[in-house]
A and B are shown apart, each in its own frame.
Chain A
Amino acid sequence: MSLSLALTGLVLAADQPTVEKPTGFFGALATAAQWFIGLFNEGGKVFVGLLTGIIPTLIVLLTFVNALIVLIGPDKINRLGEVAARPGLVYYPLRYLILPALSVFFLTNPMCYTMGQFLPEKYKPAFYDSQVSFVHPITGLFPHANAGELFVFLGIAAGITGLGGQIGDLAIRYFLVGLVVCFIRGCFTEFITFRMTSRRPVTKEAAA
């Protein structure tokens, strides 16, 4: 063992001087090429890390949730949309908290906005704001809802993983704070929409 090690050492030592560092014009080219390919070697390592670290679990989770959504039937929340259209303070949490969350979960990113068709015109901008604010906070726990934009959460979560922490804490807090924020945005945008429509004298009876 030690003999072979010593031998390789010897061979290396003997080899070392024969391979000189490239110099001159071609040497500079070679160094540049080495550096250039190094950029992409590094990127390749990152890619494989993402591939083995995220994709396997994601595939199984996405399959499960996709099947669950079809088995439950997304049309069932349409009825909820009709209830949420009612005026009154009681329906605010339903309209800007429960309905956005459920529609993003079941209908997923671009299609969830069709849920707004059950609401009266005056609520639509606020409802959209509320929904779209939730498409990233949901990805921490349910990546299927917005699979094309996972890296807002995954990017920052990778930092926590890099420190040796668990991302569960961040995911659940992101989800909960996201709910609070989407409720606040819904209420505030509704307020602004009402103010803006009442300021337009041209529009017929929209102010009311």
Chain B
Amino acid sequence: MSTTDTETRPGGRGGAMGGLNNLIVKIGKSVGKVVGVLYQAGRDTIDTIIRNILPFMAFIAMIIGIVNATGLGDALAHLVEPLAGSLPGLIAISIFCSIPILSPILGPGAVIAQIVGVLLGTRIAAGDVPPQYALPALFAIDPQVGCDFIPVGLALAEAEPETVEVGVPAVLFSRMVTGPLAVVIAYFASFGMYSGLSE
């Protein structure tokens, strides 16, 4: 391989030629590496879209379609409006979601949080819930995040069984306090947001 290489080059292995050769090899290698990384990134992206995002979109689209077409959305609005449109209501939602027995049930895949998020979004768009409540609502519907996953997450962190035994109730009880607290923080952080949008 190398002999044919030197034969084809006029002047053979001169000092300057060798340096140039090295440079070309280096450039070729690094460009190849970067292109490889970019290509793999694209491949991973398409994989994620097809495996994770599109199935969920299909499922969300079905729910929104049915809710909108049946008029269920309007019925739901009367239920949601007093809860999602005020700070005490949002705190009530977060306390409900963070009850240590309910939170692991509501957690898996964040499916419940996502459905509620989408439904609330349609209510915000319809004007039933003021847009500045979007931020506290994001925290109100999500105090149960990861509550189903504590043993697995701790196992990934190579925790001892004793740590898991303490860790599961510790996180669940902590959410009872930090869940509503997060809503309050988000409420104060949402001042001045989209004030022009609400009619």
Task: Determine if A196 is an interface residue (Cβ-Cβ < 8 Å).
Answer: yes
Q: With contacts A43-B61, A135-B145 known, is A116 near B125, CB below 8 A?
A: no
- B171 near A62 with CB under 8 A, answer no
With known contacts A115-B157, A156-B137, A63–B41 Cβ distance under 8 A: yes
Interface hits, A38-67 → B, CB 8 Å: 38-47, 50-51, 54-55, 58-59, 62-64, 66-67
What's the minimum C-beta distance from B145 to chain A, rounded to whole angstroms? 6
Q: Which of B165-199 contact A (CB under 8 A)?
A: 166-171, 173-175, 177-178, 181-182, 185-186, 189-190, 193-194, 197
The answer on a CB contact under 8 Å between B174 and A192 is yes
Contact stretch, chosen from A8-16, A18-26, A87-95, A167-175 = A167-175
Tell me if A142 counts as interface (CB < 8 A to partner B).
Answer: no
B125 A193 Cβ-Cβ under 8 A: no
User: How far is A181 from B181 in the complex, measured between Cα atoms in Å?
Assistant: 8
Neighbouring A residues of B49 by C-beta, 8 Å: 55, 58-59, 62, 147
Q: How far is the CB of A113 from chain B (nearest CB, A)?
A: 4
Do A121 and B182 form a contact, CB below 8 Å, given A42-B65, A174-B138? no
Q: Are B167 and A155 in contact (CB under 8 A)?
A: no
- Count: A-B pairs, CB below 8 Å: 281
A124 and B40 form a contact (CB under 8 A): no
Contact with B along A93-120 (1 / 0, CB 8 A): 0000000000000000011011111010
Instruction: Tell me whether B160 and A121 are in contact (CB under 8 A).
Output: yes
Chain B residues near A119 (CB-CB < 8 A): 157
Query: Among A38, A121, A155, which residue has the most Cβ atoms of chain B within 10 A?
Result: A155
Flag the segment in B3-11, B12-20, B21-29, B113-121 that touches A.
B113-121
A78 / chain B contacts, CB cutoff of 8 Å: none
Contact B118 A116 (CB under 8 A): no
List CB contacts (< 8 Å) of B137-170 with chain A: 137-139, 141-142, 145-146, 149-150, 152-154, 156-160, 162-163, 166-170
A125-B166, A152-B114 are known contacts. Are A180 and B185 too (CB-CB below 8 A)?
Answer: yes
Asked if B149 contacts A116 (CB within 8 A), the reply is no
Which residues on A sit within 8 Å (CB–CB) of B156? 110-111, 113-114, 116-117
- A206 on the interface (CB 8 Å rule)? yes
Size range of the chain A interface in the assembly? 35 or more
Q: Is B102 an interface residue (CB 8 A)?
A: no
Indicate whether B52 reaches chain A with its CB closer than 8 angstroms.
yes
A160–B53 CA distance with the chains assembled, in angstroms? 21
Do residues B181 and A189 form an inter-chain contact, with CB atoms below 8 A? Answer: no
Instruction: Write the B56-79 contact mask toward A (1 if CB under 8 angstroms, else 0).
Output: 111011111110111000000000
CA distance A63 to B137 in the complex (A): 30
A44-B65, A125-B163, A181-B185 known, 19 other contacts, Cβ within 8 Å? A39-B65, A39-B69, A59-B45, A63-B42, A66-B41, A67-B38, A70-B40, A125-B170, A128-B167, A133-B146, A149-B113, A154-B117, A159-B122, A159-B134, A163-B131, A170-B194, A177-B139, A184-B182, A189-B171
Closest 9 CB pairs of A and B: A43-B65, A116-B157, A159-B124, A162-B125, A132-B146, A125-B167, A155-B117, A155-B118, A47-B61
**Contact residues of A with B, CB < 8 Å?**
38-47, 50-51, 54-55, 58-59, 62-64, 66-67, 70-71, 110-111, 113-117, 119, 121-122, 124-129, 131-133, 135-137, 144, 147-165, 169-170, 173-174, 176-177, 180-181, 184-185, 188-189, 192-193, 196-197, 200, 203, 206
